[in-house]
Amino acid sequence: MIGYVTIGTNDLDKATKFYDAVLEPLGGKRTFANGERMQFYGSEGMASMIAISKPYDEQPATVGNGSMFGFPAATREQVDAVHAAALASGGTCEGEPGQRLPTFYGAYFRDPDGNKVCVFKMG
């Protein structure tokens, strides 16, 4: 249902390196860039994408209070690998990997710009 989501950044190079590492365990890779302002990511067989972007209005990127996005994983091991990659690449832990609900295994982290992210396995 979602075509793409943009994630604001104040340092595109740093954010791109972070998301290169975080999305690799999920099969995510760079798809195309919009100059030196935006980098899109996608994965084979998925129509939706995310973009790391400097804000169009050239004001500082800020974190939305209550905003979070989630990356679906195929296995619990992928959840663990993404969380570990996030922390190793400059992210901060917002919740270690673990069972949250009977059908939800997830982990939480913030990227270097402070955006909150969840990686999860349903079922």
Cα 19 to Cα 50, 101, 104, 118: the distances in Å are 10, 27, 23, 13
Is residue 49 assigned to a domain? Answer: yes
Given a cut of 80, whether residue 1 has pLDDT beyond it is: no
pLDDT of residue 64: 86
Question: Tens of pLDDT along 26-46?
Answer: 999 999 999 889 999 999 888
Is residue 103 assigned to a domain? Answer: yes
Could you tell me the CATH number of the domain that includes residue 27? 3.10.180.10
99 φ/ψ angles, rounded to the nearest 5 degrees: -75, 120
111 in Cβ contact with 17 (< 8 Å): no
20 φ/ψ angles, rounded to the nearest 5 degrees: -55, -50
pLDDT of residue 46: 83
Is residue 92 assigned to a domain? Answer: yes
The parent domain of residue 26 ranges over 4-58+68-122
Is residue 63 assigned to a domain? Answer: no
Number of domains composing the chain: 1
According to DSSP, the residues that pair with 98 across neighbouring strands are 106
How confident is the model over 71-92, as a mean pLDDT?
97
Q: Which two tokens stand for residue 45?
A: 């067989």
Determine if the pTM surpasses 0.85: yes
3 in Cβ contact with 46 (< 8 Å): no
